[in-house]
A and B are shown apart, each in its own frame.
Chain A
Amino acid sequence: MEHWIYTLNIAGHAVSLNLDTIFTMWFAMAVVIIFALLATRHLSLEPGRLQAISESIMKFFYGTLDTMIENENRKHVPLVASLFLFIVTANLMGQLPLRIIHLKNGGELASPTNDINLTAAMAVIVLIYYVFMGIRAKGPKFFLHELSFTGIVMALVEILEMFTRPLSLAIRLFANIFAGEILVSIALGGLAYFLPLPIMLFEILVAFIQATVFMMLTIAYIGSATKEEH
């Protein structure tokens, strides 16, 4: 649970880096990138096993986007798919026995998503993306739908949501993974070798569910930002 914090000094400002998070994040990115390169190498009309798997993954994204966004939905695939694949890989990494490697200052290699900095960064990316898409789809009407009392109240609520949505996205993912790790370590103290096993299996389920929740909420935010008003 502790991070290996390294403090840089950039132009008089102290910048703290969580080195273990950066390392595990690069590892998860490498896994996703290598999978993508391998899956797209020998594409053919009669798909092999790897191509069939990746095609069914893409079909999952296309199906979800088609049901939840009305128009021009498939152009959002790059963001949504890379978020989902990265979060799944990062969450599943927490179940690997990497924690036996001891780092400096009590740091340990676990899922990168147990660091709120990483989840907050992803949530801010989602915020910027959906605000940009909403402005491109509706122009200034994205902020103020109609000039009336209701319209102004709704605009204020929208501005409030721009803060609460990324906050809840970030804290939800972070808290689930963090709580899972603490649960596993508590079970390890209770009855080692047996009690952590069912909890770790449950954590695998949680990894997929939380990645799906993050993706679904991203799609819902993009959909509500770009849909036509009546």
Chain B
Amino acid sequence: MVDTATVSQMAHLGAGIAIGFGAVGAGLGIGFATKGLMDAVSRQPEVAGKAFGFFLLGAALSEACALYAFVIAFMLLGK
């Protein structure tokens, strides 16, 4: 029989692990998106404005993955 204090501690630990690994993926994603933007702009400087719009879109999409982890972590904190 596991007591509630241990469950709460483990839930907090799990929340930390969840947001940590989630942030790794999103960080990699935004890094790749920035690399793509830099490549495109250094090859063709005239597309900078258009490419930046697509970059923001892609960065927001990959950042959302970290926020899914954040929501899970927040749900775990409530345990």
**Chain B residues within an 8 Å CB radius of A213:** 57, 60-61, 64
Most buried by B among A168, A172, A216: A172
Secondary structure class of chain B's binding surface, majority of residues: helix
- CB-CB under 8 A from A212, the residues of chain B are 56-57, 60
Number of interface residues of B (CB under 8 A): 11
In the assembled complex, the CB of A40 is this many whole angstroms from the nearest CB of chain B, namely: 28
Judge whether A171 and B60 touch: CB under 8 Å.
no
Give 1 or 0 for each of B58-79: 1 = CB within 8 Å of chain A CB. Answer: 0011011001101100100000
How many of chain A's residues have a CB under 8 angstroms from any CB in B?
15
User: Quick one: CB contact mask for A32-51 with B, threshold 8 Å, 1 for yes?
Assistant: 00000000000000000000
Question: Which chain B residues have a beta carbon within 8 Å of chain A's beta carbons?
Answer: 56-57, 60-61, 63-64, 67-68, 70-71, 74
Give 5 new A-B contacts, CB below 8 A, not counting A175-B67, A179-B67, A212-B60: A171-B64, A171-B67, A179-B70, A213-B57, A213-B64
22 example contacts (A-B, Cβ-Cβ < 8 A) are as follows A168-B64, A171-B64, A171-B68, A171-B71, A172-B64, A174-B71, A175-B64, A176-B64, A176-B67, A178-B71, A178-B74, A179-B67, A179-B70, A182-B74, A206-B60, A209-B56, A210-B60, A212-B56, A212-B57, A212-B60, A213-B57, A213-B61
